Structure 1
Amino acid sequence: MEIVVLDSYCVREGDLDWSPLYALADRVTLWPRTPRGELAQRIGEAECVISNHCRIDGEVLDACPGLRWIGLTSTGTDSLDLAACARRGVKVANVPGYSTESVAQHTFALLLEAANGVARRAWSLREGWWQAGVPARYGLRPPFELAGRTFGAVGYGAIGRAAVRIARGFGMRAAACTRTPRAPEPGVEFMSLDQLLAASDVVSLHCPATPATKGLIGPAQLERMKPGAVLINTARGSLIDEAAVAAAAQAGRIFYAADVAAREPIRPENPLLAADNVLLTPHVAWATGEALERLAAEVCENLRAYLAGRPRNLVN
């Protein structure tokens, strides 16, 4: 049996350990990256494929009738046509939870930069500025304390819960909005989205990208937020109306900090790149060494379980 890995690394070559695969197959083929036009050729007659960003849809599946299992090196499934996979009997397994602590930690790295501007102050110091008189180009704002402010999590899955736990450690009040009914939880106030937007000093997005959540934060929602509130997005870029968020940030109504964009890699014309009060990182929140180690191990375990007739972490 052949296993084909279509994206063999995440951020840096060699950051995923695929050595366990060689005990599971006669042949393992590793491709660092696979462009759309070469997907079908590279999958060929393989039964099992491991992928991250590759768009595997009905067209690709029609060209690869031997494919029976796709292992995702991610939690999100928006890179695949799950319905087409289901129709053709192709099982899809993801890796839930591998990056929970990493993404929650990055959420607060963004928030602390918004609150204290440590990186921007260090940058200005190296260029000769000390305390007062720092030019506006550094994007510094008056620092503020997190303690006593309200942290609102939109989405209360594993990452949302981890972020709330950290927020409470900083002395913040915690609010959450979730579509899944929750039992009362000490220290967390569950609200509707509108209530949370109006009550929160920090709004942090932790929900999946679905048709229902596309453009979740648009002009109307931005108007409901507190003046000067921080909006954080470590989930998916499609959750926001980027033009509306860029305009609100440029006007000084909010500060936007994100690790994601609607189209990735981010395009030069993205309005967020030209706006003040915006802090962006290149979708790396999930890529700590610890998370990548868990990710590779879980993908290999998913494949091992499938081959043993006990598939796990199936999403379709």
Structure 2
Amino acid sequence: MKIAVLDWYTVNISGDIPVTQLEELGDVRIIPLTNPEETAANIGDADIVLCNKVLITKEVMDACPNIKYVGLFATGFNNVDIDYAAKKGIAVCNAGQYSTNAVAQQTFAYILDRFSRVRDYDTAVKNGEWERSPAFSYFPVPTAELAGKTLSVVGYGSIGKKVAEIGSAFGMNIVISTRTQPKDCPYEVTDLFTAAEKADVLTFHCPLTDKTAGIVNRELLSHMKPSAMLINTSRGGVVNEADLAEALGSGKIAAAYLDVLEKEPMSPDTPLKGAKNCVITPHTAWAPFETRQRLVDIVCDNIRAWISGSPRNKVN
């Protein structure tokens, strides 16, 4: 069985995950990154294609008739024409729920950064401000407790549930906004605008769909408190970046913490690059070592299941 891995660097740029597990499954060709015009050539006569962001289109599948299986190093599968793959008998399998703990952890790294202001105080200390303080304790930058604050979670999949659970452990009031009524949800469930109005923290953990594209826009932001913070670790397309930059600049909301942008890598002309009180990380919430190792484990388990005739996590 020939396996082509088209963008291994998106999973393993630091080289800390061995390819041994993949090599046990067949004749593996590791390609660090693949440009669109190289896709068909890099696949060649492979039976199995593994990728993260590479587009597997109708044209690519027609040019590579040996493809029998496409495995994704991701939960999303919008880069694959799954309907055409089904017509050609090509199984497409994704890797779900591998990053739940990591993304929830980063969400609270953002929240704690904002409420405890550790970075600000570390800078103050290194600048000698504490040394010049007339009192033993120096706290010119306001901090706040999480207990009693309202955490509004948009999306109630595995990550949304974990974020709500952690917030509840901090004593926060949890509000959920999701497109379907969840079963046995222990928290208040309401519509998006009400969730935004109540939120001290509004955090997004929903998929990017036609209905969620640009959902963080001028109208939604106008419903938020001037003291509220917004978090997006879902997909960059959920946010209208110009509207968010305007809201931050005018003080309509207090802060935004983003791990994803509409264009990645970040475009130098994104309106959020120099936006006031906007913290941006380069799509790292999913990237702890343990999380990436789990991802590779799931991808390999998916291949084994498919080979055995019982495909797992099949999306088409």
Task: Name the counterpart of 2:20.
Answer: 19
Task: Name the counterpart of 2:137.
Answer: none
- Listed as ranges, the gaps of 5+ residues in structure 1 are 134-139
Q: TM-score, normalised by structure 1?
A: 0.92
Task: Name the counterpart of 1:230.
Answer: 229
Judge which range, 115-124 or 293-302, deviates more: 115-124
- Listed as ranges, the gaps of 5+ residues in structure 2 are 134-139
Q: Deviations over 1:94-124 (max 9, x none)?
A: 1111110000000010111122222243234
- Aligned-partner Cα distance in 2 for 1:199–1:132: 40
Instruction: Tell me the CA shift for residue 129 of structure 1.
Output: 4.0
Instruction: Tell me the CA shift for residue 155 of structure 1.
Output: 0.2
- Aligned-partner Cα distance in 1 for 2:131–2:43: 57
1:260-279 alignment runs, 5 A limit: 260-279=260-279
Given residue 287 of structure 1, which amino acid in structure 2 is its aligned partner? A
User: RMSD value over aligned CA atoms?
Assistant: 1.8
1:228-307 alignment runs, 5 A limit: 228-254=227-253, 255-307=255-307
Given residue 158 of structure 2, which amino acid in structure 1 is its aligned partner? A
- Aligned-partner Cα distance in 1 for 2:65–2:206: 34
Task: Name the counterpart of 1:167.
Answer: 167
Q: Secondary structure at the match of 2:185?
A: coil
Instruction: Tell me the CA shift for residue 79 of structure 1.
Output: 2.5
Instruction: Tell me the CA shift for residue 272 of structure 1.
Output: 0.6
1:186-225 alignment runs, 5 A limit: 186=186, 188-225=187-224
- Aligned-partner Cα distance in 2 for 1:151–1:303: 39
Contact 1:18 1:296 in 2 (8 A): no
- Aligned-partner Cα distance in 1 for 2:159–2:301: 22
1:1-316 alignment runs, 5 A limit: 1-9=1-9, 10=11, 12-25=13-26, 27-130=27-130, 142-186=142-186, 188-254=187-253, 255-316=255-316
- Distance change >3 Å, CA 132–CA 211, structure 1 → 2: farther
Instruction: Tell me the CA shift for residue 132 of structure 1.
Output: 9.4
Instruction: Tell me the CA shift for residue 76 of structure 1.
Output: 1.6
Q: Secondary structure at the match of 2:66?
A: coil
- Distance change >3 Å, CA 259–CA 296, structure 1 → 2: same
- Aligned-partner Cα distance in 2 for 1:127–1:11: 37
- Distance change >3 Å, CA 312–CA 131, structure 1 → 2: farther
Instruction: Tell me the CA shift for residue 199 of structure 1.
Output: 1.1
- Aligned-partner Cα distance in 1 for 2:131–2:82: 53
- Aligned-partner Cα distance in 2 for 1:37–1:141: 52
Q: TM-score, normalised by structure 2?
A: 0.92
- Aligned-partner Cα distance in 2 for 1:119–1:250: 21
Instruction: Tell me the CA shift for residue 128 of structure 1.
Output: 4.0
Q: Secondary structure at the match of 1:29?
A: strand
Q: Secondary structure at the match of 2:3?
A: strand
Contact 1:4 1:43 in 2 (8 A): yes
Task: Name the counterpart of 1:137.
Answer: none
Instruction: Tell me the CA shift for residue 78 of structure 1.
Output: 2.5
Task: Name the counterpart of 1:136.
Answer: none
Instruction: Tell me the CA shift for residue 127 of structure 1.
Output: 3.9
